[in-house]
Amino acid sequence: MPPKPTYFPQLAAERPDIALCRASATVARAAEAHANTQGLGVGQHLVLKMLAEVGPCSQQALAEELRIDRSVMVTVCDDLERSGYVRRERNPLDRRSYAVTLTEAGRDRLTTAEATTPTFLDKTFAALTPTERTQLTTLLTKLLTPRDLDH
């Protein structure tokens, strides 16, 4: 049997962008698989979580804040509304737009989904110590903070 390839660790050390893309894809697949066991997609979970935290929002605000493509956000909100987890209401500050509002059923669904999140995160990030997880979160937050890349 030929030896197991060992090139990727070298590549990851030389190209953190490639390593981050591969790690991101791996975590995204795990998150989707976990979400599917919960019957609630990752995007749906995030929308419910944001609405519970900040209150009613426009689809545009949800898309921008959660970094979900606007066309995907329409589908996410449609699915959540069909399930009775959100409702769209006229925005009292701008009657031309709608605010997405969390329903009581949505709040209950979020509570159920959130109960499994710590176990999922522990399993997904088991290779990291608690300190390393904190460091990773800090570094990712720094990378995701908008900045001027031209300077």
Domains of the chain: 28-117 (1.10.10.10)
pLDDT score of 149:
52
Percent of the chain surpassing pLDDT 70: 97
pLDDT score of 124:
94
- Locate tokens 């959100």: which residue? 86
Q: What is the largest CA-CA distance in the chain?
A: 68
- Locate tokens 């419910």: which residue? 48
Q: Is the pLDDT of residue 130 over 90?
A: yes
Mean of the pLDDT values across residues 48-57? Answer: 96
Q: Are 44 and 50 in contact (CB under 8 A)?
A: no
Q: Which residues of 60-94 are buried (b: 16+ CB within 10 A; e: fewer)?
A: ebbbeebebeeeebeebbebbbeeebbbbeeeeee
Length of the chain: 151
Alpha helices in the chain (DSSP H): 7-14, 16-38, 42-54, 59-66, 70-82, 104-115, 117-124, 130-144
Rounded distance between C-alpha atoms, residue 59 and residue 97, angstroms: 9
Q: Are 56 and 89 in contact (CB under 8 A)?
A: yes
Q: Are 44 and 76 in contact (CB under 8 A)?
A: yes
Residue 69 pLDDT level (bands cut at 50, 70, 90): very high
Tokens of 66: 């959660």
Candidate ranges 5-9, 110-114, 142-146; pick with highest mean pLDDT: 110-114
Mean of the pLDDT values across residues 20-34? Answer: 93
Q: Is the pLDDT of residue 151 over 50?
A: no
Rounded distance between C-alpha atoms, residue 50 and residue 12, angstroms: 33
pTM of the full structure: 0.82
> For 2-16, what is each residue's pLDDT tens digit?
777 788 888 888 999
